[in-house]
Amino acid sequence: MPKPTFFNLSEEKKANLLKAIKKEFSRAPYNEALISNIVKSASIARGSFYQYFEDKEDAFLFLLDEHIENNKAYFIHSLQKFNGDLFLTYIEMFHYMIMKFENQEDRAFFKNAFLNMNHKVESRFTRKFNDKDIKHFLEIKDMVRKDNLTITDEQELFHVMRILTAVTIHNLVETCAKELTIEESLKIYTKEIHLLKKGLVQEEVISSNDTNIHIN
């Protein structure tokens, strides 16, 4: 988290600084981004940067969180719009995200962010399904339409969302890495969501550790 000093800044100064930070994280991947460039670009003293942020990571994650908050709101909005249909919601979210890549100003930043998608970054994106921040899951779980899902309890819904999230992020990262067009990217993603819905095996005894289900 940025230090209190940062939040005390005038809106103008804050905006100026954030602009410089975004510029630097757009210029180079996280590992190569430099605080030196940020302070140069924002025309502030080096020491000032450290009055506002702990370090490079602090600044990067703050910027990221701003976008993520926006996503979370959009997720809930979509879930309502689609009457709790999880799959339509995920596809809508996916679409929403890749549309952001079209914005020239955001493109480089997102590319650097997604190609640097490690556990720390990913867990920011998926906080809502993390048990550390379980309240986000609680917020969402009742909005999901469950009557058409195969889940037998709430815990399974949790896993369903984890799976959807894993596949979604994987596709988002790939879209960046391979610079896929919206069409290519959406086609692959919807195909995979479709496979997830119908299941990977058919008409057979499926057995797991603790359950035996016979579909027919």
Strand, coil or helix: 117: coil
193 binds its own copies (CB under 8 A): yes
Q: Are 45 and 39 in contact (CB under 8 A)?
A: yes
Residue 118 binding its own copies, by CB under 8 A: yes
> Tell me, what amino acid is at 136?
H
Distances (CA, A) of 186 to 43, 58, 114, 152: 41, 33, 17, 30
Cα 177–159–163 angle (5° rounding)? Answer: 20
**Which is nearer to DNA, 63 or 143 (by Cβ)?**
63
Q: Residue 206 interacts with its own copies (CB under 8 A)?
A: yes
Give residues 79-108 in contact with its own copies (rule: CB under 8 A). 87
Amino acid at 135: K
Q: Cβ distance 184 to 126 under 8 Å?
A: no
Task: Out of 66, 148, 154, 184, name the contact with its own copies by CB under 8 A.
Answer: 148
- 16, 26, 41, 48: which one contacts DNA (CB under 7 A)? 48
Q: In the complex, which residues of this chain contact its own copies (CB under 8 A)?
A: 31, 87, 114-120, 122-123, 148-151, 156, 159-160, 162-164, 166-167, 169-170, 173-174, 176-177, 187-188, 190-202, 204, 206, 208-209, 211, 213, 215
